[in-house]
Structure 1
Amino acid sequence: MRYQIITVGSELTLGLSVDTNAAFISKTLGKHGFTCVRHVSVPDKIDLIAVAISESLAQADGVIITGGLGPTIDDLTRDAVSRALGRELEYSERLGEIIEERYGNRAIPLPEITYRQAYLPKGAEAIIPTLGSAPGIIISEDEKFLFSLPGVPREMADMLEKNIVPWLETRFCRGVAHAVRVLRTTAKSEASLQESIEDLVRSLHGVDVGILAYPGEIQLQLFAKGADMNEAKNIVGDAATLLRERLGNIVYGYDDETLEEVTGKLLLKYGLSLAVAESCTGGLVGKKLTDIAGSSGYFSGGIIAYNNDAKKSLLNVSSQTLVRHGAVSAATALAMAFGVRDRFNADVGLSITGIAGPDGGTEEKPVGLVYVALSHQVTNYSNRFIFFGSRDTVRIKSANAALDMLRYYILDNFERTGGDAS
């Protein structure tokens, strides 16, 4: 099944907001074997929305629209659907009652314009919202479909997963099932990853493999079909196992696992506490770690030592080290890692110092130069990196490199030795 997405909102076309809805819809439905062939954003103009709807229905099996279902003057999607399909808007008593109940529970007056949300194109099915107040819309016409969902991301996602996915599976997935598996890696580049698996990928039957790059991470996405879900999962699972065996530890996780989650589990498994000293990343590693519930079980704390005075006073980095080697150096990174481990009395200290840009680089120390160091009771070492990209990209890559360095250290010194790194 091929479909198109229309995201409605002048804030999108003016660049005031980022369209995350289209990405979420494509990713969610892609896992079920449905293919999005076009994304388009249109402003809050009824004529443009109606034209986009007509074009999408002419080019694909269906269209999913987000946004423009609220009660205000710029919420025009209902009217545009009515115009594009030639279906008059009709008032739904049931939706009106639901809206009244919602406002009654809030003990606030019900604005008259709120009743606009109770109008549906003739013959449409309403999706009753469990979040928010805007109903969704389902229309089938000439073996094609139209779904209109709220623009608020969490409201859209709720309807997509609870209503739209089951609707589509009932009509388009009879006799076939789709399975997806994602291998998350810290490979250096897409090219190097492809070279290492190219022959293996060619030998896989019934599995499509895609390579997708993100800052500090490259994903292998595997897609397979089967007569039922068990068969599809077995096919894609066998392929994932073969690729994991080929790639080894550059595969850090599967599907929705994050690098910080996987690394945190290793720290917890071996009873290791961690402290982090950050300069150019400004606390990003600490944020990633504390995004994980339960991270207090292994993360002692962190220090953002951005200038030299902070490095000296908070991490005990000597003036001699800073003068002789500079703030961005292996020596300073090592001193920071040791200093933060000592300050927090942690098992492991991890540090990052670098030049995130866009300014501050020299010929000897260019923008993107980053040192990551690790300090443990039995070893202290650092790695040097050159990262390319924007300031944010360099920071993300640096944080991921630090977490990956820690992950490899634990795998090499605890996992292989059964927990004894001495």
Structure 2
Amino acid sequence: MKKVIQFLLIVLFVGNAWSQNTNNETEYDLLKAPVSPASNLLGFAQSDINKPTDVSEFMVSLQSASDSYTSLPSNYAVDIAPFWLLKSKALGDITTKGLENSYGKNVIPQSLVLSFAIKNVDSTTINFNTNSTYAGFGLKFSIYRGDYDKTTKEKLSQIQNLQKLKLDLMQNIQDVTEENLPLEIIELKEKRKQIFINVDVNDESEDNLALIELLSKKAAKIDEEIEQKTAILLNENKTNSELKTIDDKIKTIASQFQLTRVGFTWDIAGGIGGEFHNKSFNQGKIYNAGVWTTLGYTTEKTGAFLGLVRYLHNPERIFALDNAINDQKSVSTFDTGFRYILGQPQAKLNASLEAIYRSFLSESEIDNSWRLMLNIDYALFKNQKLTFSFGKNYDGTTTKDGNLVAALGMVFGFGNKR
């Protein structure tokens, strides 16, 4: 336990320092909970049923799973949102209005997450090969991601009003400056007007074209000088302090609220997992693969209710019985379940109860299984969450009595500028 506490303290310190030192601009708090489909496939996700939400550019999950937390985390997941990681003006509508849309052509790329996970097992693990390392790849995207909640709309409206006030103030500064130009700038502007007087721009003779080119260079040089002197005047304007005050207000509002959505949500996820014997990439094989969908509804006050439908194919063997290894070959399973999340959309602390029933599609003597989990997550800092899950998993792994699973995890989100 002492080692794990020391590890988490180090991670918190480094993560917080990294965030402060590398991201000087204001960021939105987008990290709601782990969303890793790859860790779902490998069986170490705190929750199998996740609510669609706005995503971080880069997310990292670390998890320790044991009955006493005496070992350091051995399960890792990295989630990447390629749209935001590589964002540019050509990638779609990233204006406030565009991001507010619940559905449409830009919602899928904006919500797309590519997920990678690694699972390492030790000698106490019952249902996995202790000589193997497991790796997973998955993806997830929203078809319908819900609407901004009341608090989000209010904060965005405040930012919009401040931005309009800033633009009006900037225009006023520009007008006042133009009306009170010093003599040297007025003379430069007059000189600029005189350059092309008595020059026939329609004459395409070689000599006249050469003259026009020479005069154009002279005009550009004067324009640059006028622009530089005008910029100095604008920067010296006393009302610039008011612009800074407005900017500070915008940054404060943006940093103190979450982009949170309510209403109907619908997402799609899937992926593939691999097992690598003797921890060698050359001795790899498919462990499992699957596709699933989650539908739900989130309210402003009473939380969120989510439903899951999932298909999984296990080409070699499936762990569905409590505390037992099943040697059935090529088994397919069908999962149905629900999750209720208790907590208001903007709350730091959220708790949820998740129940999933697993049945077999192929002929098998294996009994159906189920998963019942209590999940809790708490926002320690902006874009950093501590998560905890406790309950019964499909395979009853990670504890000595074979019935309960308890997992402690840390999730970090980086790069949330919008």
More helix by share: 1
Which is greater in Rg? Answer: 2
TM over 0.5: no
User: Structure with the greater relative contact order (CA < 8 A, sep ≥ 6): 1 or 2?
Assistant: 2
- Greater fraction strand: 2
TM-score by length of structure 2 reads: 0.19
Q: TM-score, normalised by structure 1?
A: 0.19
